[in-house]
Amino acid sequence: MVHAFFDPAQAAAFNAAASKKDSQFEVRYFPLHGLGNITRMLLASSGAKFTNFNPEDWAALKPEAPFGVMPLLKETTSDGTVIQIAESDAIERYLSKKFGYYGDNIFEETLIDTFVSSDNDIMNKIFGFIMLKDAEQKAEAKEKALQGPVANWVKNHELHLQNNGANGHYVGNKHTLADFKTAQLISIIQGFSGEDLISEKLTPALIKVRATVDKIPSLAAWRATDEWKAFADRNKAALGF
Amino acid sequence: MVHAFFDPAQAAAFNAAASKKDSQFEVRYFPLHGLGNITRMLLASSGAKFTNFNPEDWAALKPEAPFGVMPLLKETTSDGTVIQIAESDAIERYLSKKFGYYGDNIFEETLIDTFVSSDNDIMNKIFGFIMLKDAEQKAEAKEKALQGPVANWVKNHELHLQNNGANGHYVGNKHTLADFKTAQLISIIQGFSGEDLISEKLTPALIKVRATVDKIPSLAAWRATDEWKAFADRNKAALGF
């Protein structure tokens, strides 16, 4: 039997649902930020109604999941259509298209893809040392990543943001997926390196991206909830920040 | 000065170039498959005219590159417009949109994003152990990755491909970016595990994806060139297959 998620028979209903902005969303993930963070940021920033479902027994639900992984996004439209999406990258792209965070033409889309890809590359390099168990190896790999690719990322992104007028955005004067991804990455890099690589003085344009994202009222409201704070506590316990 | 690549002043020219299919392309990368492989597969499969430029002195060109990394794609349209794209993921998405490998609607696009994201995740897990220097640790991490996430990927992708009729495609009856990414990933997984995880007997639908991609005449022609074989030799020297 075809998993409902992949069933071509639902194509028309899916395409109709994708254009609706008044849906109700459920984010199924562990009770921490992790790979669910950008999805929740996109939903909160766009003012969408969403709830979080943190399965107590993920092992029992895992076999039903399209790839056996979370996060999973469930969308219920105002007319009752239900669709699901797996894989954080696919969820983020779907929501960005729906809520206008993916650019207005292929030039903007390609720029956004480029910055997002560059951000993902750095996230993977950071995961590379986070996952190491041996403390000495981890410290060495962390230093190497921070001084090499991370420092290179900081330099190049600061330059391109300066070229866009240091207005807190990568593309024009609007929020795109690239802004959200970078705002998250700045938090993570600062978590590991304090103000050594990214600071108001060293990289004002990068700092502006994060500040501009932080200022979105509906996102700030989500971050003021007890639920968000509980997720942050879990992240802090795992990563130390 | 704004890097030409990111300059908003080129938006109209870029958008016009993106719709043209008779352009001439240059792929700037090291003389091996690596991160340039999917880009070259997309160009060859679509019958596009492309050349490879393998800088002898990459260090000298690196500071000019948008993020100091390759691959880079240069496109020259028949009317002389020149555009550039950086980051393999952005290049692959741009070419997929241009040559019809990215789906006809948001349902198809989201499915493709989902499969591509799942493929990228496994590629990152494989890079995770390839990069380890200590032989014992590498062997242990390789076994763990192959028996865990890679085996899980094989199981789920085989299932979804079977559900699509085991016709060699993820979406409908046409080639999409997901087919190319998976065809490459199959080669890499088989390179590490022979026929233990992927074989005609164990996973006929996955094997069919690779066979269907291999059958594209213009792709087969590119793979018969001395240049392609030289890239394959370099890959073999680095990875052993």
Inside any domain, residue B222: no
Q: Taking residues B30-47, what's their average pLDDT? A: 97
* Residue A121 or residue B241, greater confidence: A121
pLDDT at A137 over 90: no
Out of A80, A99, A118, a domain closes at A99
pLDDT at A158: 97
Inside any domain, residue A233: no
Residue B151: name the closest of B178, B176, B126, B181 by CA. Answer: B126
Q: What residues in B contact A66, CB-CB < 8 Å? A: 114, 156, 160
For B125-152, write each residue's pLDDT tens digit: 998 888 888 899 899 999 999 999 999 9
- Give me the CATH number covering residue A11: 3.40.30.10
pLDDT at B63 over 90: no
Indicate whether B120 and B208 sit together in one domain.
yes
How many domains would you assign to chain A? Answer: 2
Interface probe for A, chosen from B107, B112, B144, B153 (most Cβ of A below 10 Å), is B107
Inside any domain, residue A70: yes
CB contact at 8 A, A149 and A119: no
Q: Contact A97/B88, CB-based, under 8 Å?
A: no
Indicate whether B56 and B122 sit together in one domain.
no
- CA B78 – CA B87 distance, rounded (Å): 24
Q: What residues in B contact A15, CB-CB < 8 Å? A: 105-107
Out of B99, B124, B156, a domain closes at B99
Full DSSP string of chain A:
---GGG-GGGHHHHHHHHT-SS-EEEEES-SSSGGGHHHHHHHHHTT-EEEEE--TTHHHHGGGSTTS-S-EEEEE-TT--EEEEESHHHHHHHHHHHHT-S-SSHHHHHHHHHHHHHHHHHHHHHHHHHT--SHHHHHHHHHHHIIIIIHHHHHHHHHHHHHTTSSS-SSTTS--HHHHHHHHHHHHHHHHHTTSSS-TTT-HHHHHHHHHHHT-HHHHHHHTSHHHHHHHHHHHHHH--
Q: What residues in A contact B181, CB-CB < 8 Å? A: none
**Is residue A71 reached through a cis peptide bond, with omega within 30 degrees of 0 on the bond before it?**
yes
pLDDT at B1 over 80: no
Look up residue A8 and give its two tokens.
């071509």
Indicate whether A75 and A111 sit together in one domain.
no
Nearest to A117 among B89, B163, B172 (CB): B89
Out of A77, A99, A121, a domain closes at A99
Indicate whether A135 and A205 sit together in one domain.
yes
Residue A209: name the closest of A160, A161, A154, A159 by CA. Answer: A161
Q: Contact A114/B90, CB-based, under 8 Å?
A: yes
Inside any domain, residue A237: no
pLDDT at B219: 98
CB contact at 8 A, B65 and B42: no
pLDDT at A1: 73
Pairing relationship of beta strands A24-28 and A49-53 according to DSSP bridges: parallel
Q: Contact B113/A2, CB-based, under 8 Å?
A: no
Indicate whether B89 and B15 sit together in one domain.
yes
Indicate whether B122 and B189 sit together in one domain.
yes
Percent pLDDT > 90 in chain B is 87
Q: Contact B15/A85, CB-based, under 8 Å?
A: no
CB contact at 8 A, B13 and B83: yes
pLDDT at B45 over 90: yes
Q: Contact A15/B86, CB-based, under 8 Å?
A: no
Inside any domain, residue B241: no
Q: Taking residues A207-233, what's their average pLDDT? A: 98
Residue span of the structural domain in which B59 resides:
4-99
Indicate whether B63 and B112 sit together in one domain.
no
- Give me the CATH number covering residue A195: 1.20.1050.10
Inside any domain, residue B221: no
For B155-209, write each residue's pLDDT tens digit: 999 999 999 999 999 999 999 999 999 999 999 999 999 999 999 999 999 999 9
pLDDT at B106: 97
Indicate whether B88 and B8 sit together in one domain.
yes
Indicate whether B56 and B117 sit together in one domain.
no
pLDDT at B239: 84
pLDDT at B230 over 90: yes
Q: Considering only A15-29, A59-73, A148-162, B105-119, which range has the smallest mean pLDDT?
A: A59-73
Nearest to A114 among B85, B111, B113 (CB): B85
What is chain B's mean pLDDT, rounded? 95
Interface probe for A, chosen from B102, B110, B174 (most Cβ of A below 10 Å), is B110
Distance from CA of B121 to the nearest CA of A (A): 9
Indicate whether A111 and A196 sit together in one domain.
yes
Q: Contact B114/A66, CB-based, under 8 Å?
A: yes
Q: Taking residues A20-46, what's their average pLDDT? A: 97
Nearest to B15 among A107, A124, A127 (CB): A107
Chains A, B: CB contacts within 8 A come to 124
Inside any domain, residue B145: yes
Indicate whether A77 and A119 sit together in one domain.
no
pLDDT at A134 over 90: no
Distance from CA of B191 to the nearest CA of A (A): 22
Indicate whether A129 and A199 sit together in one domain.
yes
Nearest to A68 among B85, B128, B152 (CB): B152
Inside any domain, residue A235: no
For A50-69, write each residue's pLDDT tens digit: 999 999 999 999 988 988 89
